[in-house]
Amino acid sequence: MISSALSLEAAGLIESQIRGLPQLPAIIRYEDDFLEKVHTLRTGESIWKVEYRGRKNPLSFDDFPAPLSTLIRHWCSWSLSVVSAGTTAIYHAGLRRVYEAEGVSFFETLLSLSPMQARHYWHTQLVQRLTLGSAPGAKSFLIFLCVMGLGQWTRDYRDYASSFSSPHGDKYAAVRAGDVFLAAHEEALIVDHLDSISAHLRAGQHDIGTDDLRAACILVASYQLGMRPIQIARVKLSDVRIFSRGPTPEKTVVHVTFMMAKQRSAQLKRMPMPRRIKREWAILFVEFYDRRSSTGAVIPMPGSVDDAFFGLTPDRVAYAIARYSGRILDEPRSATEFRHTSAQRLVDAGASAEELATFMGHAWIDTGLVYFSTSLTQAERLNKAMAISPLYQEVVKVARTKTIDMAALLKMPPDRQIGGAPHGIPIAGIGACTLGQSLCVKNPVLSCYGCVKFLAINEPEIHVEVRSSFRGVVRQFYDASRGESGQSSTYQQLTRTLEAIQQTITDIDENAG
135, 166 in Cβ contact below 8 A? Answer: yes
165, 123 in Cβ contact below 8 A? Answer: yes
Q: What DSSP designation does 252 have?
A: -
Report d(CA 513, CA 149) in Å as an integer: 76
For range 72-92, the mean pLDDT: 94
Report d(CA 506, CA 491) in Å as an integer: 23
Is 12 found in the same domain as 74?
Answer: yes
Report d(CA 73, CA 104) in Å as an integer: 16
Output the pLDDT for position 482: 53
Report d(CA 227, CA 301) in Å as an integer: 20
Percent of the chain with pLDDT over 90: 46
Kindly calculate the radius of gyration of the chain based on its CA atoms and give it in whole angstroms: 29
pLDDT surpassing 70 at residue 423: no
Between strands 55-60 and 240-244, the pairing is unpaired
Residues 6+ apart with CB under 8 A from 513: none
Q: Identify which of 104, 96, 100, 95 has the alpha carbon closest to the alpha carbon of residue 68.
A: 104
Burial of 108 (0-12, 13-18, 19+ CB in 10 A): buried
Select the more confidently predicted residue: 386 or 338.
338
Output the pTM of the full model.
Answer: 0.69
Residues 6+ apart with CB under 8 A from 204: none
Report d(CA 75, CA 139) in Å as an integer: 12
pLDDT surpassing 70 at residue 348: yes
Length reported for the chain: 513
Q: Is residue 89 part of a domain?
A: yes
Percent of the chain with pLDDT over 70: 85
Q: Is residue 167 part of a domain?
A: no
Q: Identify which of 110, 21, 115, 4 has the alpha carbon closest to the alpha carbon of residue 71.
A: 21
Is 429 found in the same domain as 318?
Answer: no
Q: Which helix (H) or strand (E) holds 33?
A: none
Q: Is residue 269 part of a domain?
A: yes
For range 204-211, the mean pLDDT: 92
Q: What does the DSSP assignment read for 335-369?
A: HHHHHHHHHHHHHHTT--HHHHHHHHT-SSGGGGH
pLDDT surpassing 80 at residue 445: no
pLDDT in tens, 99-152: 999 999 999 999 999 999 999 999 999 999 999 999 999 999 999 999 999 999
Looking at every residue in the chain, the average pLDDT score rounds to 84
Q: Is residue 86 part of a domain?
A: yes
Report d(CA 395, CA 502) in Å as an integer: 9
Q: Is residue 2 part of a domain?
A: no
pLDDT surpassing 80 at residue 428: no
67 prior amide bond cis, ω within 30: yes
Q: Is residue 3 part of a domain?
A: no
Is 158 found in the same domain as 29?
Answer: yes
350, 481 in Cβ contact below 8 A? Answer: no
Output the pLDDT for position 404: 77
Output the pLDDT for position 397: 38
Is 324 found in the same domain as 465?
Answer: no
Is 366 found in the same domain as 391?
Answer: no
CATH number of residue 256's parent domain:
1.10.443.10
Report d(CA 346, CA 361) in Å as an integer: 14
Q: Which helix (H) or strand (E) holds 242?
A: strand 240-244
Residue 415 binned pLDDT confidence (cut-offs 50, 70, 90): confident
99, 2 in Cβ contact below 8 A? Answer: yes
Query: Which residue among 375, 405, 425 closes a domain?
Result: 375
Is 119 found in the same domain as 34?
Answer: yes
Report d(CA 257, CA 279) in Å as an integer: 16
Report d(CA 94, CA 99) in Å as an integer: 9
Is 396 found in the same domain as 475?
Answer: yes
Between strands 402-404 and 454-457, the pairing is parallel
Distances, alpha carbon 472 to alpha carbons 305, 326, 349, 480, in Å:
53, 37, 21, 12
pLDDT surpassing 50 at residue 2: no
Output the pLDDT for position 477: 66
Query: Which residue among 375, 398, 419 closes a domain?
Result: 375
* Residue type at 495 in one-letter notation: T
pLDDT surpassing 90 at residue 70: yes
Other beta carbons less than 10 A from residue 136's beta carbon: 17
Q: Which domain holds residue 236?
A: 174-375
Is 411 found in the same domain as 507?
Answer: yes
Q: Which region holds residue 58: left if phi is over 0, alpha if psi is between -120 and 50, else beta?
A: beta
Is 390 found in the same domain as 366?
Answer: no
87, 71 in Cβ contact below 8 A? Answer: no
Q: Is residue 168 part of a domain?
A: no
pLDDT surpassing 60 at residue 484: no
Q: Is residue 43 part of a domain?
A: yes
Is 283 found in the same domain as 246?
Answer: yes
Is 329 found in the same domain as 191?
Answer: yes
Output the pLDDT for position 481: 56
Q: Which helix (H) or strand (E) holds 420?
A: strand 417-420
Q: What DSSP designation does 126 have?
A: I
Q: How many CA atoms lie within 13 A of 64 on its CB side?
A: 28
505, 460 in Cβ contact below 8 A? Answer: yes
Q: Specify the number of domains making up the chain.
A: 3
Output the pLDDT for position 261: 66
Output the pLDDT for position 150: 96
pLDDT in tens, 5-47: 678 888 999 999 999 999 999 999 998 878 888 999 999 888 9
Say which range, 184-188, 345-349, 443-447, has the weakest mean pLDDT. 443-447
Is 312 found in the same domain as 280?
Answer: yes
Say which range, 260-269, 284-293, 348-357, has the weakest mean pLDDT. 260-269
Say which range, 7-21, 179-193, 451-465, has the weakest mean pLDDT. 451-465
Query: Which residue among 348, 375, 402 closes a domain?
Result: 375
Across 358-396, b (16+ Cβ under 10 Å) vs e yields ebbbbeeeebbebbeebbbeeeebbbbbbbebeebebbb
